[in-house]
Each structure stands twice: as C-alpha cells, then as structure tokens.
Amino acid sequence: MDYQHTADVFLSWLRTQIPLINHMGFKPLQYDGHSLVMSAALQPNINDKGTGFGGSLATVATLCGWSMVTLYRREQGFDNDVVIHTSELEYLRPVTGDFAAHVSLPDAETLTAFDARMAERGKARLELVIEVRQGDKVAMRLNGSYVAMEKPAER
C-alpha cells in the first residue's frame, strides 16, 4: 500500500472539510498505516508570548487522533463518523518552533476488541495518546477517547 499517497489524498480532503487547517501552516502528513504525524509551522499558531498558542496545539493534537481513527477505519473499508468524546491536555513546555503531533494505534488486542464492538454495535471507542513535540521534546500530551460510529442512512 502506498501510505504516502493515502496521506496526501487524506490531507487534501481534510482541507475541504475543516477550513481552519488551511490557516495553520500544516505540512504533508507522515503516515505508515500504524502511526501518524501531523506537523505545523509555528508562525500561524503563535501567541502573544512568541510561543505556540495552546489552542492551536490542542487543535492539531485532537485532529491527529481523529485522523488516525478515520484512516484506520477507511483502510478497513468503512466510512464512519468519528468524534472526540473526551480529552485531557497536559502542557509540559512552551513550543518555540515548528511542531508536530504524533499518534500510534494501540496494540492488536485493543484494536481487535474495538473492531468487534464496531461490528456488534455500530459504534466503538478507542483511547489514544497524542504527543505534540518540538523536535524530540514532548511539549503537550493529549489523552483522548475517540468514538467511531456508523453514519446515519440519510445525510
């Protein structure tokens, strides 16, 4: 599978669905089928202190987790709705340059349980940890609960 092509097509689609990201300095996604990295430039996300605006960091992290679940389900042949259910943010250090949100899918056992619940109920929750990093330093961590669900018949 050409994961880079998948990532490029996904980001193009995402830009049409969430216009805000067109103003956040997003760079091409890095995706390998198991992990995703969403990078953004500091300049459009800067605050009055010259560091990364907390709301921008939260947006990129939230979107990174949402995208990971969406990509995972699409690769299984499903076009589900995905929403964030809960999140907890921990800001660890200021961001003074370009930054990236990193997420990986959980272990196979967790994914098997998630898939079984989706098949059984048409809705399932997946817990993810997303780290916003500047270089190799973790600046923010988001613990998020994402819910995938079958789309309603009419839209």
All domains of the chain, ordered by start, with CATH? 3-149 (3.10.129.10)
Buried b (16+ CB within 10 A) or exposed e, 18-56: eeebeebbbeebebeeeebbbbbebeebeeeeebbbeeb
Q: What is the pLDDT at residue 155?
A: 54
Q: What is the pLDDT at residue 11?
A: 95
Q: Are 52 and 24 in contact (CB under 8 A)?
A: no
Cβ count near 115 (within 10 Å): 16
Q: What is the pLDDT at residue 152?
A: 86
Please provide the average confidence, as pLDDT, over all residues in the chain. 96
pLDDT (tens digit, 9 = 90+) per residue, 54-112? 999 999 999 999 999 999 999 999 999 999 999 999 999 999 999 999 999 999 999 99
Kindly report the length of the chain.
Answer: 155
**How far is residue 42's CA from residue 37's CA, in Å, rounded to a whole number?**
16
Sheet holding 30-31, edge to edge: 30-31, 35-40, 99-104, 123-134, 137-149, 81-91
Phi, psi of 124 (to 5 degrees): -155, 160
For 133-152, what is the mean pLDDT? 96
Q: What is the pLDDT at residue 1?
A: 77
Q: Which two tokens stand for residue 82?
A: 């995905």
**How far is residue 65's CA from residue 85's CA, in Å, rounded to a whole number?**
11
For residue 56, the SS3 value is helix
- Asked whether the predicted pLDDT for residue 2 surpasses 80, the reply is yes
Q: What is the pLDDT at residue 153?
A: 77
For 127-152, what is the mean pLDDT? 97
**How far is residue 51's CA from residue 57's CA, in Å, rounded to a whole number?**
11
More confident residue, 77 or 1: 77
Q: What is the pLDDT at residue 154?
A: 65
Residues 6+ apart with CB under 8 A from 143: 87, 88, 90, 127, 128, 129
